[in-house]
Structure 1
Amino acid sequence: MTRAEVAIIGGTGFYEFLSDPEQVELSTPYGDASGPVSVGTVGGTRVAFLPRHGAGHALPPHRINYRANLWLLRSLGVRQVLAPCAVGGLSPVVTPGDLVVPDQLVDRTSGRVQTFVEEGAVHVPFADPYCSRLLDTFRVRDGVTVGGTMVVVEGPRFSTRAESQHYAAQGWSLINMTGHPEAVLAREMRLCYAALALVTDMDAGIEQGAGVGQDEVFALFAANVERLKSTLGSIIASLPDPDGCTCSTWADGIELGYDVP
């Protein structure tokens, strides 16, 4: 069976990563994933790539089968997940074009299935939603800022001006539509997970008269895809050993009640 150690979940405008990959399509207990997974080698590391929104951006954020995606990656042997995504800026400390690795997350979604837990007493530690070892790896990379809170909204609409101003007033710096439940499902699958956010715009309430449009988001992301690929390639080459990380060991000795392949 095809195996991989690391996964990239590509976001808006990021639909391919590997050269001459092998295509893998597997069923999951949770239905269909976003699409076939591409598996190849990057600097000696076996890497799986999954476009979060499917081929041609077929899936809006609230229709993505996050459980199937994370279960599928784990079934391939993946232990570490890097998740590039497009975000809006909520704070003047970020500007369009910045690469930011958030260290905190706020969930403002609704109606999404956000756990594998369906029975029993299983409470997942999530005070720190991103892998500290992966964050440390990003900290030594030029051109990447580590830190900040990403609020995840339901979508697919953008925020009203009042909503945007409210989020900014809380001190949150980034806004996104896909970071949850992806992060918590990765934790439940005992995976190390970190987001790599590309700031594509400043959200609606930050500047008077400003607003967010789909065209500008897609255009800025497209202009930075090669930069994202280069950054991810350098990170893959220096990833820490996932053995012993609390992203996995939190579940030692716990009867989870769901399958971790």
Structure 2
Amino acid sequence: MLGIVGGSGLTQLANLGVSHREITRTAYGEPSGPFTFGRIGCQDVVFIARHGYGHTIPPHLVNYRANLSALHSIGVTRIISVASVGGIRPDMAPGTLVVPHQIIDYTWGREMTFQSGTDGPVKHIDFTEPYAENVRQLLLNAAQQTGEPMMNGAVYAATQGPRLETAAEINRLAQDGADIVGMTGMPEAGLARELELPYAAVCVVANWAAGRGDSAHAIQFDHLETVLHTSMDRVRRLIAHLCEA
């Protein structure tokens, strides 16, 4: 079963043939909301809105452990994360779809691991390649087959939020090698790896990061919403094709 975690701009899957919704509780608390089960094409799919269905949960307060633990417990075998990001690199303009290949984690104070120190020896996970290549290729192949422009590879900078970054902070991220910036990439990817759940992300560049492009002096929120609305329709079509393959 395919798990889809929707971020800003994707609080529901209109092309999901819904069978039922289910509230799942975990040892780590409650997930962001009920899980929506159904089918797209020939694929069983379960969907959850990362920020809640009314977009009420800020990125630093998302219960990532509950979300991932619940997905694992209900039988999900691979996860696609959908997220909106800011573009740092010059070719990461608003409206770009990108499948990142690396992460730099700048978050703090979040529950980062399932390891409590009371359930046996510490297990160190290999996080050299943070995204599952087989799931990345599913996304890239679907884009190629549908003629949807998709960037292959980017370094995702995961920042704390919920405020957006300063121009100076974006300059620092660029110097560190980041191409895009978002607030939810971690600890989600790391938790998926702990559970051995293949995980990859498709990111929508919603706006230029602070100090870049038309965000040179301020983020253009009106433009951002328009880009998100149009781009998430493209993501839905991409997922639909992936599920029909």
- CA–CA separation in structure 2 for the residues paired with 1:217 and 1:177: 16
Structure 1 residue 205: deviation in Å? 2.3
Q: Which residues in structure 2 correspond to 1:1-261 (within 5 Å)?
A: 5-17=1-13, 18-119=16-117, 120-140=121-141, 141-142=143-144, 143-207=149-213, 209-238=216-245
Q: TM-score, normalised by structure 1?
A: 0.86
After superposition, the C-alpha distances for 1:197-225 in whole angstroms (9 at most, x for unaligned) are 00011111224834325444333212222
104-113 or 141-150, larger mean C-alpha shift:
141-150
For 1:36 and 1:62, locate their aligned partners in 2 and report how far apart those are by CA, in whole Å: 20
After superposition, the C-alpha distances for 1:96-127 in whole angstroms (9 at most, x for unaligned) are: 10100000000000100010011222101101
Alignment check: 8 A CA contact 1:79 1:192 kept: yes
Tell me the percent identity. Answer: 35
**1:139 alignment partner AA:** L
Cα distance, 1:122–1:199 mapped onto 2, change above 3 Å: same
Matched letter for residue 127 of structure 1? T
In structure 1, stretches of 5+ residues that fail to align are 239-261
After the TM superposition, which parts of structure 1 deviate over 4 Å for at least 4 consecutive aligned residues?
none
Partner Cα distance (2:150, 2:240) in 1: 14
Moved more, 205-214 or 148-157: 205-214
Q: Is the 8 A contact 2:42 2:243 kept in 1?
A: no
Give TM-score scaled by structure 2 length.
0.91
**Count of residue pairs brought into register by the alignment:** 234
1:61, 1:200 → 2: CA distance? 16
* 8 Å CA contact 1:163, 1:205 repeated in 2: no
CA distance in 1 between partners of 2:140 and 2:51 (Å) = 28
User: Residue 214 and residue 188 in structure 1: after superposition, are their counterparts in 2 closer, same or farther (change >3 A)?
Assistant: farther
Deviates more, 1:135-144 or 1:66-75: 135-144
Secondary structure of 2:54's aligned partner: helix
Gaps of 5+ in 2: none
Deviations 1:65-102 (A, max 9, x none): 00000011111100100011000000112111010000
Cα distance in 1, alignment partners of residues 220 and 66 from structure 2: 30
Does the 8 A contact of 1:6 with 1:47 survive in 2? yes
